[in-house]
Homo-oligomer: A and B are copies of this chain.
Amino acid sequence: MSEGITLEELQLAARNHGMPLEALRHEITPLGLHYLLVHYDIPVVDPAAWRLTIGGLVDRPLELSLDDLRAREPVSLPVTMECAGNGRAHLEPRPISQPWLAEAIGTAEWTGVPLAPLLADAGLATDALEVVFTGLDRGVEGGVEQLYERSLSIADAEGDGVLLAYACNGEPLPPQHGFPLRLVVPGWYGMTSVKWLERITVVAEPFEGYQMITGYRMREHEDDVGTPVTRIEPRSLMVPPGIPDFLTRRRFLPQGPVTVEGRAWSGWGPIEHVEVSTDGGASWHAARLGDPPGAAAWAPWWFDWNAPEGEHELCVRARDATGRGQPEEPPWNIGGYSNNAVQRVPVTVTA
């Protein structure tokens, strides 16, 4: 990190939070440990007055209460979610926004209503191209006052596992995770899973809202139109072994056998290989891979290490079924998105 974090970045870091990496031990992240990014403010919502509208280019516009949604057949799905800006603070120069290191992750079990049958009930017009999701959180960004809004193609909106979720880990959605309803789009970075959802609008033109055209694009310079940020790149993270120093978070562990453990995921396909290095990436060794709790959730892995006394740098990297992997050095982009460079954990092994 070349330069110190600014007050503006710290204000964001104090509000939002990552998942402490020792919580990788949990297959389903306990409430309160899942990463959290609130774009503007957590809005106040009266669930009795709240309605979801489905409109725009549909044959039968719908207005649904929370009870209407709960009356439909529910689906529960474990989904690993990650912020598109995870890893941003490791980039140099550092893009100025929420300064994530590696912890902007979590896996919740979301319960709700599949979106595709709801869209079928509304009936898409023949010229329908995209579905726009509008949340209730309002703010100013890049000088533009806005509600938080994102769109998906019809095919992506109708995709497997796309849910309107009203519960998380068996509890009603907490306010910070989108109460009373949020979109959950498995495999995509978290910005897609619009919280405090109030309006779904089917449109015939590509949606050009701020969060599609200005935010969440891979751009190399300010004049670059760039390409949209979409699915989650592969990543593996380990539970840092041993015990930490409070301030530096450096790890200390005794010499001898230790099982290093963690989880790996990708929004593009199943994880096929996880490799661990104990020498800073000079050599790599296969980890044992377990089954994920669902197609859109992380897979556990384990690596047995006979830790010798001394200073070491542990690294881990994953590769998915599409051949996508993790770079040793992060490729830079202007918004600081999708930095899935390998995790590096320095450890001191004592006699």
Identity of the chain B residue whose Cβ is nearest the Cβ of A247 in the assembled complex: B8
Contact of A30 (CB < 8 Å), options: B8, B176, B252 = B176
Q: Report if A16 contacts B (CB, 8 A).
A: yes
Query: Interface stretch among A36-44, A270-278, A293-301?
Result: A36-44
A116 to B96, CA, bound (A): 51
Q: Report if A223 contacts B (CB, 8 A).
A: no
Q: Report if A175 contacts B (CB, 8 A).
A: yes
Contact of A39 (CB < 8 Å), options: B23, B99, B246 = B246
A8 to B1, CA, bound (A): 10
Nearest Cβ in chain B — how far from A5, in angstroms? 4
Known contacts A243-B139, A245-B139: A18-B8 contact under CB 8 Å: no
Q: Does B141 contact A247, Cβ atoms closer than 8 Å?
A: yes
Copies in the complex: 2
Known contacts A4-B4, A30-B174: A14-B244 contact under CB 8 Å: no
Q: Does A103 contact B30, Cβ atoms closer than 8 Å?
A: no
Contact of A23 (CB < 8 Å), options: B17, B42, B139, B140 = B42
A26 to B39, CA, bound (A): 20
CB neighbors of B among A86-128 (8 A): 89, 96-97, 99-101, 103
Inside 8 A of A140's CB, which chain B residues have their CB?
243-246, 252
Inside 8 A of A247's CB, which chain B residues have their CB?
8, 12, 96-97, 141
Could you list some 5 contacts between A and B, CB below 8 A?
A8-B248, A10-B13, A20-B176, A22-B42, A145-B252
